């Protein structure tokens, strides 16, 4: 195909007319499609229905340490649930606190603790004039919403195909003691699907931050969410690397079963150093009587262990793979060679990132919406919702049916083409 | 029986010798008993085992508004769970946000919100030099631990048999704008079992606080936890009373099913005015993807509605009543007329409060411990763990078996007598 940038004005006008006709046909269809939500599909949720039968009136409701899971106690989780979460995060069970149904809430709590109490005896962040976080972009909008909520200044760090730009990260972190944290989705990153390279993990672990209480918020949200087997998702153990580098307390790792069992009906966990765990428990014991141990036991009975989780995730992958492939095939077929955008083929996670021609993302999302296809708002993967180039669009293929997705992807590529041609004609 | 205070020194010495002998016999038994924990007994927990069967693979996993409870969404809870929590709190469903497995965590979050964000546009408390809370005493140690954790100064307000001393409350709240909150357990208060009178509730609702962002933290923990039917636990609706008095936003009400279904495996809720709910949701949507809707649906399927809860709580009462009565009968039989302490016979809740002779509580608890009976530490029901008179002891009769409780109560009264006689001999 001829690249749009090489077309004459006449050719572009002709192309625009054609595209507008196709677009109007879509508009006439009254579509109601949604590629905005990183949600499991109903079919994926059906995979875990047996979880509901994992406990019944005949179950001995004791954890392996003898604790009655129906009663108070067990602040940091039952031993077998620690093991399950540790398997998922590839850490040791004794490094885990099992938390509630939302790892977002667990992360929010950790930032709130930094604000209100400080970490390991350092000054609470709310007492400081300025607190900053590094935000690899594009990234996860809900991370940025948490730090924005607390008045934290967010600094964009560009992502590369190996993770965040480490030269920039090292430079910033070593010089500015107001930088207290950094958001990371290290495996199948949201939204690009990047897996941090070994070198990136090692450089992160070996940083010499100006702030003693600098923390990496390591959201391992897609720890076991492979599309093509775990070989494509190898990630170094950040806790181990931090320890080796003499920074054992520099990281909090998070994970949950929200996209494993049920979204919002699962369990989550935090992994950290011994000193951090003790520090967390000091405030956790004030905050709560502990998370739901019955749901912990239910998950252990259903999944058994890391292998059980892996087997279950293969069933998820078999539902997700065709959806990802359909979208990627549509992008390839319709956009290759046009110079209308780039995209990455992720090997896991929940998203495909489309990088449109600069200044086109908002227009593409608006066009899609007017044709009945909801996309994640342009800018969402950036702090303050501001994409400096207005080019990144997050595509979420998990929730729609294949049939819906086919139509939605076709609408999307039409909108991409139309917005690109419009843009070129402006010049 | 002859009051100890009227005994001669010789009589006291003789009594002390007798008591010490009885006490040493208990010590020789190697007892391991516990009246410290406000926990449901295993028999109580058995009552709710059918909850585990309330959902299964055949269940249609949709809330009545069509929401798939297995997926994201529904920040403030499913409609039928709002209704259930509203029934328990005697409020309207639209006044409720359904929260997670721990109402303590829900309360902690509300105080943390006050600290970090402030309420309805007022200055966040962490930005102020001084924040104070009123603490009716004796009260719930975990409330006081939350406010102490956040550096809040706590002011003791004595309890009467109608609730907190309202003359003192009104005086303090109207004059000091650093007073931002007040803890209340209005029904079957922890630990005394006092039900706030209608006048107390109306006076609370009609207060004119100096601080615009003053909030009553209304922990209706024992809303449905009657021992002798609901007639003994009539409590005015504080939300309604606050609205009538022109203070609609002055109260947050909390409740949970922790001592209804499973402790730490239930659901909780917060009830508040429309303006407060909107304010809470603004930060809740940053904090979490919502609480566990599957457990919400499970609770609704099992309990159906407020009537179902009430019927279930009667079964709890039939297990709890004999335990309370055994302890009270032991106190009556062994201590009446001795002038060694006072106690209240609660009509609901989880505790009996024993008020020893001034300066004796710590000694009684220590004696009991050395004889193998663990009591709640003396001082625990007071801010900073300091009982100014060293006289209040919280007795928790729910968890031990009747047999264990009989022995424990006998040890306890022996320790009360011994400590009292020791005290009188000191003088």
Q: Residue B287 and residue A104: Cβ atoms within 8 Å?
A: yes
In chain B, which residues have their Cβ closer than 8 Å to the Cβ of A48? 70
User: Six-digit token pair at A261?
Assistant: 């069992």
Q: What is the pLDDT of residue A427?
A: 79
Mean pLDDT of B120-134: 97
Q: Residue B289 and residue A262: Cβ atoms within 8 Å?
A: no
CB proximity A317 to B under 8 Å:
no
In chain B, which residues have their Cβ closer than 8 Å to the Cβ of A69? 265
Which one of B116, B265, B291 has the shortest CB-CB distance to A116?
B116
CA distance A387 to A389: 5
Residue A62 is given by DSSP the state B
Q: What is the pLDDT of residue B403?
A: 97
B contact test, residue of A264, A298, A396 with most B CBs within 10 A: A264
Q: Residue A291 and residue B52: Cβ atoms within 8 Å?
A: no
Which one of B69, B258, B283 has the shortest CB-CB distance to A149?
B283
B contact test, residue of A76, A101, A221 with most B CBs within 10 A: A101
Q: Which residue has the tokens 């729609």?
A: A400
**Going edge to edge, which strands form the sheet with B215-219?**
B96-99, B268-271, B251-256, B215-219, B179-184, B132-137, B153-160, B163-164
Mean pLDDT of B384-405: 97
State how far the alpha carbon of A161 is from the alpha carbons of A137, A158, A166, A211, A401, in Å: 12, 10, 12, 28, 30
CA distance B225 to B232: 11
Mean pLDDT of A278-298: 97
Non-local (6+) Cβ contacts of A67 within 8 A are A73, A74, A78, A293
In chain B, which residues have their Cβ closer than 8 Å to the Cβ of A42? 68, 71
User: Min CA distance, B243 vs chain A (Å)?
Assistant: 30
Q: What is the ipTM of this complex?
A: 0.97
Q: What is the pLDDT of residue A1?
A: 74
Q: Residue A265 and residue B70: Cβ atoms within 8 Å?
A: yes
A contact test, residue of B103, B293, B294 with most A CBs within 10 A: B294
User: Min CA distance, A159 vs chain B (Å)?
Assistant: 24
CA distance B135 to B113: 19
- Residues B52/A55, Cβ–Cβ less than 8 Å: yes
> From the centroid of its chain, how far is CA A164?
14
Q: Residue B262 and residue A49: Cβ atoms within 8 Å?
A: no
CB proximity B282 to A under 8 Å:
no
CA dihedral B269, B274, B278, B279 (to 10 degrees): -90
**Domain spanning B4-44+311-426: which CATH class is it, in words?**
alpha beta
Q: Residue A286 and residue B108: Cβ atoms within 8 Å?
A: yes
Q: Residue B53 and residue A56: Cβ atoms within 8 Å?
A: yes
Q: What is the pLDDT of residue B194?
A: 98
Q: What is the pLDDT of residue B1?
A: 74
Phi, psi of A156 (to 5 degrees): -70, 135
pLDDT for B342-362, tens place per residue?
A: 998 999 999 999 999 999 999
Percentage of chain B beyond pLDDT 70 is: 100
> From the centroid of its chain, how far is CA B94?
25
pLDDT for A357-391, tens place per residue?
A: 999 999 999 999 999 999 999 999 999 999 999 99
CA distance B45 to B303: 14
User: Domains of chain B: which residue ranges?
Assistant: 4-44+311-426, 61-304
Residue with the larger pLDDT of the pair A427 and A19: A19
Which one of A102, A116, A289 has the shortest CB-CB distance to B288?
A102
Nearest residue to B104 via CA among A285, A183, A340, A303: A285
A contact test, residue of B98, B263, B268 with most A CBs within 10 A: B263
Which one of A71, A105, A287 has the shortest CB-CB distance to B39?
A71
Q: Residue A149 and residue B288: Cβ atoms within 8 Å?
A: no
CB proximity A295 to B under 8 Å:
yes
Q: Residue B45 and residue A52: Cβ atoms within 8 Å?
A: no
CB burial string A273-287: b at 16+ within 10 A, e below: beebbebbeebbebb
Question: SS3 for A12?
Answer: helix
Largest Cα–Cα distance in chain B? 78
CB proximity B52 to A under 8 Å:
yes
Domain A4-44+310-426, CATH: 3.90.1150.10
pLDDT for A64-102, tens place per residue?
A: 999 999 999 999 999 999 999 999 999 999 999 999 999
The 3-state secondary structure of chain B reads CCCHHHCCHHHHHHHHHHHHHHHHHHHHCCCCEECCCCCCCHHHHHCCHHHHHCCCCCCCCECCCCCECCCCCCCCCCHHHHHHHHHHHCCCHHHEEEECCCHHHHHHHHHHHHHHCCCCCCCCHHHCCCCEEEEEECCCHHHHHHHHHCCCEEEEEEEECCEECHHHHHHHHHHCCCEEEEEECCCCCCCCCCCCCHHHHHHHHCCCCCCCCCEEEEECCCCCCECCCHHHHCCCCHHHHHHHCCCCCCEEEEEECCCCCCCCCCCEEEECCHHHHHHHHHHHHHHCCCCCHHHHHHHHHHHCCHHHHHHHHHHHHHHHHHHHHHHHHHHHHHHCCCCCEEECCCCECCCEEEEECCCCHHHHHHHHHHCCEECCCCCCCCHHHCCCCCCEEEECCCCCCHHHHHHHHHHHHHHHHHHHHHHHHHC
Q: Which CATH topology does B61-304 take? A: 3.40.640
Which one of A45, A126, A263 has the shortest CB-CB distance to B126?
A126
In chain B, residues 57-96 whose CB comes closer than 8 Å to chain A: 57, 59, 61, 68-74
Q: Residue B52 and residue A50: Cβ atoms within 8 Å?
A: no
Q: Residue B150 and residue A116: Cβ atoms within 8 Å?
A: yes
Q: What angle do CA B166, A287, A79 make, to 5 degrees?
A: 145
Band of pLDDT at residue B427, cut at 50, 70 and 90: confident
Q: Residue B72 and residue A264: Cβ atoms within 8 Å?
A: yes
Residue in B with minimal Cα distance to A57: B49
User: Min CA distance, B259 vs chain A (Å)?
Assistant: 9
Residue B273 has pLDDT above 90, yes or no: yes
Q: What is the pLDDT of residue A377?
A: 97
Which one of B40, B69, B117 has the shortest CB-CB distance to A71?
B40
Q: What is the pLDDT of residue A196?
A: 98
Please state, rounded to an integer, the average pLDDT across all residues of chain A: 97
CA distance B206 to B215: 13
Q: Which residue has the tokens 């590529």?
A: A413
H-helix or E-strand spanning residue A160: strand A153-160
Non-local (6+) Cβ contacts of A140 within 8 A are A183, A185, A190, A191, A219, A221, A381
Q: Residue B265 and residue A37: Cβ atoms within 8 Å?
A: no
Q: Residue B45 and residue A71: Cβ atoms within 8 Å?
A: yes
In chain B, which residues have their Cβ closer than 8 Å to the Cβ of A59? 52
Nearest residue to A146 via CA among A119, A99, A114, A168: A114
Q: What is the pLDDT of residue A347?
A: 98
In chain B, residues 10-39 whose CB comes closer than 8 Å to chain A: 37, 39
H-helix or E-strand spanning residue A417: helix A402-426
Q: What is the pLDDT of residue A210?
A: 98
CA distance A195 to A185: 9
Domain A63-304, CATH: 3.40.640.10
pLDDT for B170-202, tens place per residue?
A: 999 999 999 999 999 999 999 999 999 999 999
In chain A, which residues have their Cβ closer than 8 Å to the Cβ of B294? 52, 262, 264-265
CA distance B288 to B269: 15
Q: Residue B101 and residue A292: Cβ atoms within 8 Å?
A: yes
- Residues B124/B111, Cβ–Cβ less than 8 Å: no
Residue in A with minimal Cα distance to B290: A264
Q: Residue A292 and residue B293: Cβ atoms within 8 Å?
A: no
CB pairs under 8 A between A and B: 164
B164: burial class by Cβ within 10 Å (0-12, 13-18, 19+)? Answer: buried
Q: Residue B288 and residue A105: Cβ atoms within 8 Å?
A: yes
State how far the alpha carbon of B230 is from the alpha carbons of B195, B202, B227, in Å: 11, 20, 8
pLDDT for A154-174, tens place per residue?
A: 999 999 999 999 999 999 999
Which one of B124, B264, B295 has the shortest CB-CB distance to A289?
B264
Q: Which residue has the tokens 């086109």?
A: A360
Question: SS3 for A112?
Answer: helix
In chain A, which residues have their Cβ closer than 8 Å to the Cβ of B37? 72
CA distance B375 to B354: 11
Q: Which residue has the tokens 């706590």?
A: B154
User: Min CA distance, B254 vs chain A (Å)?
Assistant: 14
User: Min CA distance, B341 vs chain A (Å)?
Assistant: 31
Which one of A57, A112, A150 has the shortest CB-CB distance to B53?
A57
pLDDT for A299-311, tens place per residue?
A: 999 999 999 999 9
């Amino acid at each position: 195909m001829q690249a749009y940038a090489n077309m004459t004005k006449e050719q572009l006008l002709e192309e625009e007319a054609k595209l507008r006709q196709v677009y109007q046909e879509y508009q006439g269809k009254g579509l109601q499609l949604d590629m905005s939500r990183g949600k499991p599909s109903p079919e994926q949720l059906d995979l875990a229905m047996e979880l509901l039968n994992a406990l019944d009136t005949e179950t001995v409701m004791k954890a392996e340490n003898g604790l009655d899971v129906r009663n108070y106690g067990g602040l940091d989780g039952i031993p077998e649930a620690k093991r399950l979460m540790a398997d998922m995060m590839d850490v040791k069970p004794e490094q885990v606190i099992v938390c509630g149904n939302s790892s977002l809430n667990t992360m929010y709590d950790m930032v709130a603790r930094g604000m209100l109490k400080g970490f390991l005896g350092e000054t609470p962040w709310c007492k400081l004039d300025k607190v900053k976080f590094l935000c690899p972009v594009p990234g996860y909008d809900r991370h940025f919403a948490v730090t924005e909520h607390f008045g934290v200044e967010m600094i964009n760090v560009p992502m590369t195909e190996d993770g965040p730009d480490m030269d920039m990260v090292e430079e910033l972190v070593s010089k500015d003691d107001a930088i207290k944290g950094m958001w990371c989705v290290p495996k199948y990153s949201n939204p690009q699907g990047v897996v941090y390279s070994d070198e990136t993990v090692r450089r992160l672990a070996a940083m010499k931050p100006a702030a003693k209480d600098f923390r990496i918020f390591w959201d391992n949200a897609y720890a076991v969410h492979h599309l093509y087997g775990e070989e494509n998702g190898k990630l170094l153990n950040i806790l181990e690397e931090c320890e080796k580098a003499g920074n054992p307390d520099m990281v909090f790792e998070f994970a949950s079963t929200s996209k494993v069992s049920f979204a919002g009906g699962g369990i989550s966990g935090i992994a950290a150093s011994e000193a951090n765990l003790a520090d967390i428990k000091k405030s956790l014991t004030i905050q709560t009587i502990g998370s739901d141990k019955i749901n912990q036991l239910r998950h252990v009975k259903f999944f058994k262990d890391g292998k059980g989780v892996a087997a279950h995730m293969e069933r998820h992958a078999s539902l997700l793979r065709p959806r990802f492939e359909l979208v990627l095939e549509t992008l390839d077929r319709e956009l290759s060679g046009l110079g209308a955008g780039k995209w990455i083929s992720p090997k896991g996670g929940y998203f495909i990132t489309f990088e449109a021609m600069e200044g086109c993302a908002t227009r593409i999302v608006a066009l899609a919406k007017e044709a009945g296809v909801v996309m994640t708002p342009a800018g969402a993967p950036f702090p303050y919702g501001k994409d400096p180039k207005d080019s990144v669009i997050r595509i979420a293929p998990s929730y729609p049916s294949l049939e819906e997705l086919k139509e939605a992807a076709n609408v999307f590529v039409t909108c991409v083409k139309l917005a690109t041609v419009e843009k070129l004609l402006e010049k």
